[in-house]
Amino acid sequence: MNVPLLFLLACILHFNSKCSATILPSSCPYPPSQWCSTLDSAVQCGVLKHCLHANLTKWHHAGEPVQIEVYYETLCPDCIMFVTQVLYPTWVLLQDILSVHLVPFGNAQEAPSGSKYIFKCQHGEQECLGNIIQTCLLNMSDNAFLIIFCMEASTDVIAAAKSCVHLYSPELSWERLMSCVNGDLGNQLMHQNAVKTNTLDPPHQFVPWVTINGEHTDDLQKKAIKSLFPLICSKYKGIKPVICGEGGHRDLRI
Ligand SMILES: *[C@@H]1O[C@H](CO)[C@@H](O)[C@H](O)[C@H]1NC(C)=O
Ligand SMILES: *[C@@H]1O[C@H](CO)[C@@H](O)[C@H](O)[C@H]1NC(C)=O
Give 23-64 pLDDT, tens digit per residue: 555 688 888 888 898 999 999 999 999 898 887 766 666 789
pLDDT above 90: residue 140:
yes
Q: Give me the pLDDT at residue 55, please.
A: 77
Q: Is 126 in the pocket of ligand 2 (CB under 6 A)?
A: no
Distance 38 CA to ligand 1 centre (A): 6
The boundaries of the domain holding residue 226 are 66-230
Residue nearest to atom 13 of ligand 1 (CA): 39
Q: Is 140 in the pocket of ligand 2 (CB under 6 A)?
A: no
Does residue 223 form part of some domain? Answer: yes
Does residue 246 form part of some domain? Answer: no
Boundary residue ending a domain (32, 58, 84): 58
Same domain, yes or no: 36 and 159: no
Same domain, yes or no: 148 and 206: yes
Q: Among residues 96, 129, 71, which one has the least CA distance to residue 240? A: 96
Does residue 237 form part of some domain? Answer: no
Does residue 18 form part of some domain? Answer: yes
Q: Which residue has the higher pLDDT, 244 or 24?
A: 244
By mean pLDDT, which of 26-30, 36-40, 140-144, 208-212 is the weakest? Answer: 26-30
In order, the DSSP letters of 19-43 are -S---S-TT--S-GGGTTTSHHHHH
**What CATH number did the domain enclosing 83 receive?**
3.40.30.10
Distance 173 CA to ligand 2 centre (A): 18
Same domain, yes or no: 182 and 130: yes
Same domain, yes or no: 33 and 152: no
Q: Give me the pLDDT at residue 54, please.
A: 80
Give 55-94 pLDDT, tens digit per residue: 776 666 678 999 999 999 999 999 999 999 999 999 999 9
Q: Give me the pLDDT at residue 63, please.
A: 83
Does residue 238 form part of some domain? Answer: no
Q: Among residues 239, 238, 232, 237, which one has the least CA distance to residue 250? A: 232
Same domain, yes or no: 184 and 140: yes
Give the number of domains in the chain.
Answer: 2
Indicate which ligand has the atom closest to the C-alpha of 138. 2
Does residue 185 form part of some domain? Answer: yes
Same domain, yes or no: 75 and 129: yes
Same domain, yes or no: 110 and 37: no
pLDDT above 70: residue 2:
no
Indicate which ligand has the atom closest to the C-alpha of 38. 1
Same domain, yes or no: 42 and 117: no
Q: Give me the pLDDT at residue 19, please.
A: 42
Are 137 and 144 contacting, i.e. CB atoms less than 8 angstroms apart?
yes
Same domain, yes or no: 182 and 127: yes
Distance 137 CA to ligand 2 centre (A): 11
DSSP letter at 231 equals H
Does residue 119 form part of some domain? Answer: yes
Q: Give me the pLDDT at residue 254, please.
A: 35
Computed over every residue of the chain, the mean pLDDT equals: 88
Which atom of ligand 1 is the closest one to the Cα of 39? 13
Indicate which ligand has the atom closest to the C-alpha of 139. 2
Same domain, yes or no: 72 and 114: yes
Which atom of ligand 2 is the closest one to the Cα of 192? 5
Q: Give me the pLDDT at residue 61, please.
A: 64
Residue nearest to atom 11 of ligand 2 (CA): 139
Does residue 250 form part of some domain? Answer: no
Q: pTM (2 decimals)?
A: 0.75
* Degrees to nearest 5, angle at CA 187 with 183 and 191: 170
Are 137 and 86 contacting, i.e. CB atoms less than 8 angstroms apart?
no
**C-alpha span between 244 and 253 (Å, rounded):** 12
Question: Ligand 1 test: best mutation among 38, 41, 49, most atoms within 8 Å of CB?
Answer: 38
Q: Give me the pLDDT at residue 240, please.
A: 87
Same domain, yes or no: 186 and 219: yes
Same domain, yes or no: 31 and 126: no
Indicate which ligand has the atom closest to the C-alpha of 41. 1
Give 166-192 pLDDT, tens digit per residue: 999 999 999 999 999 999 999 999 999
